[in-house]
Amino acid sequence: MNLISRCSIVALLGALAGGCGVDPAAEVDNVTSTAQAQSGGGARDPLATSVAAALLAQGVITASEAQMLVPLGTESGWTVMLTPGIPSNTARLSMIVVGQPVPAGQTGASTASPIARWSSNQWSTSTDTVGQKYTVNTAPVLVFKLADPLQIGNGAFLQATARIGGVWLNNGAANYKFILASPNAISYLGSLAAGQDGALRTIPGQSLLAGHDTSVTVETYPMLPSSAATLHWTNDNQVTIHDVPMALAAVNVGAYASDARWIGTLPTGTMSAGPTVAFWVEATSSGPGGALWDSRNGQNYVAAVTAPPVVDWAELGTFGFFTTQSGWVYRYNTGLANPLSSTPGDYQAYATSPSPAVEVHVPGITDAPNGASVCTAGFVRVEAWSPFFSGTPTGTWAAYPLPFIETNGNNCRFKWLLQNTAFVQAPPGVNYPAGKNYPVDGAYPYKVRISTNGGATWQWLGTTGLPSGGSNRTINWVAPFHG
């Protein structure tokens, strides 16, 4: 986005043909916008999403505040958020600080004496607001209801910092700064991008892939309170049009760090291959000028929903310590023993045993320029499947998602961290038996499964390769710690 495109929008006011079933005179369409690989197109920050939903359910914030919650930064293990992310002179600001999840039986960071200190006069005077404590998914959350903006006035420059357990969160000594703006008219809507679990999609030009929801992002300028964006879509040739309120995803973005970014979701994850989806975006503000539209001059953004590509190559390996001329190194190695011994006594060096690993290639996905993002975001799902995750060799088979570790050329690698003597509880993903903090010792059958369509279908690796994987493999398991 640039200043020329903004000026072009103003010049085109009322001159463009209408689209999407709206009054042509009411549409201002940014003709330069395309859904291509830009900084947008990703999912809304997952932490902001979960915190907003949880605090809304607890009645701590309103639906509007949940929709406008944005992260500002992370420091000292805490994430600082603000709602509304575009401050105004009509709505109370809430500063929300989120800590790290606290495992069961452990003590997290101190949340003693939480305050937010803020000033609207360059610290000539300041006010301390005491935070209220909540919990979201075992993580501590502190909510600070700052001043009523009506008492401060339009255009005020507000600065804030927070102290939790004696630790100051002050944006690297720069403080968190906001300008309270009055409602006005937005003048730009554009920079539309689309992505599916990390895979950016150019629309028009590419299909949308079944099994994955589509995140659509747009940017508006200037950043104004009382502005909103709505994603409209249809998959039945506009017989039915769905309206999706877009959440505020980020502020101070764009080429001039002056735009607001909004995000909405197309439910393509629940669509089968076949239909064609059309979508467009509307942005409104409370100032004069009405709505702005991004609909490609009435043509809309149109894409067929197709089946995603499948894994065309995969192999099993291990991550572990191996000797080289320069000494011990921790790295990936091709090949996986069957059975695999996961017994600490067999691996005295560094007190760890090899961790099973999987390397995969998905054409057009893992070999894309953002292949690491695709694998991190979960487009390619790799899971270990074994009764290991119910804690006994004859227990219920269950799945454990393997985390993405690294790329190797056009491939992605995932690892199953089986055990390390630093563990004092069960390895990740285990629902161990009552009274146990590890799976019981024994021989556990397992396979690895891979999906590129959200888990609707799977390809398997066992004693043989894709797609069925042959017979089960075995892990001979002995826990490094019994308690």
DSSP string of 298-341? Answer: TT-EEEEEEPPPPP-EEEEEEEEEEEETTEEEEEEEE---SSEE
Instruction: Decide which of 257, 284, 306 is a domain's last residue.
Output: 306
Q: How far apart are CA 428 and CA 418, in angstroms?
A: 8
Q: Which residues touch 260 (CB under 8 Å, ≥6 apart)?
A: 85, 86, 219, 220, 221, 223, 224, 227, 248, 250, 251, 253
Out of 15-29, 303-317, 330-344, 416-430, least confident range:
15-29
Out of 84-88, 230-234, 374-378, 410-414, least confident range:
84-88
Instruction: Decide which of 274, 306, 338 is a domain's last residue.
Output: 306
Q: Is residue 112 part of a domain?
A: yes
**φ/ψ of residue 57, rounded to 5:** -65, -30
Q: Residue 28 — pLDDT band, cuts 50, 70, 90?
A: very low
Q: Do 354 and 416 lie in a common domain?
A: yes
Q: Do 236 and 126 lie in a common domain?
A: no
Q: Do 386 and 460 lie in a common domain?
A: yes
Q: Do 367 and 295 lie in a common domain?
A: no
Q: Do 284 and 320 lie in a common domain?
A: no
Q: Is residue 213 part of a domain?
A: yes
Q: How far apart are CA 123 and CA 314, in angstroms?
A: 59
Q: Do 86 and 16 lie in a common domain?
A: no
Q: How far apart are CA 406 and CA 425, in angstroms?
A: 26
Out of 113-117, 239-243, 310-314, 421-425, least confident range:
421-425
Q: Which residues touch 320 (CB under 8 Å, ≥6 apart)?
A: 330, 331, 333, 352, 353, 354, 355
* Closest residue by Cα to residue 242 from 290, 275, 194, 279: 279
Q: Do 317 and 408 lie in a common domain?
A: yes
* Closest residue by Cα to residue 211 from 271, 264, 266: 271
Do 472 and 462 contact (CB within 8 A), yes or no?
A: yes
Q: In the 3-class helix/strand/coil scheme, how is 333-387 assigned residue by residue?
A: EECCCCCEEECHHHCCHHHECCEEEEEEECCCCCCCCCHHHHHHHCCCEEEEEEH
Question: Tokens 């893992």 sit at which residue?
Answer: 366
- Predicted TM-score (pTM) of this structure: 0.79
Q: How far apart are CA 48 and CA 244, in angstroms?
A: 18
Q: Is residue 375 part of a domain?
A: yes
Q: Is residue 295 part of a domain?
A: yes
Q: Is residue 142 part of a domain?
A: yes
Averaged pLDDT, 169-176 = 89
Per-residue pLDDT at 120:
83
CATH of the domain at 212: 2.60.40.10
Do 437 and 446 contact (CB within 8 A), yes or no?
A: no
Q: Is residue 483 part of a domain?
A: no
Per-residue pLDDT at 351:
47
Question: Tokens 């895979």 sit at which residue?
Answer: 199
Instruction: Decide which of 290, 306, 322 is a domain's last residue.
Output: 306
Q: Do 335 and 427 lie in a common domain?
A: yes
* Closest residue by Cα to residue 397 from 477, 472, 308: 472
Q: Is residue 90 part of a domain?
A: yes
Q: Residue 134 pairs with which residues in a beta bridge?
A: 141
Q: Encode pLDDT of 303-353 as tens digits.
A: 999 999 999 999 999 988 777 777 778 889 899 999 998 876 554 444 457
Number of folded domains that form the chain: 3
Q: Do 271 and 317 lie in a common domain?
A: no
Q: Do 118 and 222 lie in a common domain?
A: no
Q: Do 115 and 153 lie in a common domain?
A: yes
Q: Is residue 482 part of a domain?
A: no
Which residue segment(s) compose the domain that 139 sits in?
A: 46-179
Q: Do 441 and 370 lie in a common domain?
A: yes
Cis amide prior to 149 (ω within 30 degrees): no
- pLDDT of residue 465 exceeding 90, the answer is yes
Asked whether the CA dihedral 43, 44, 50, 53 is positive or negative, the reply is negative
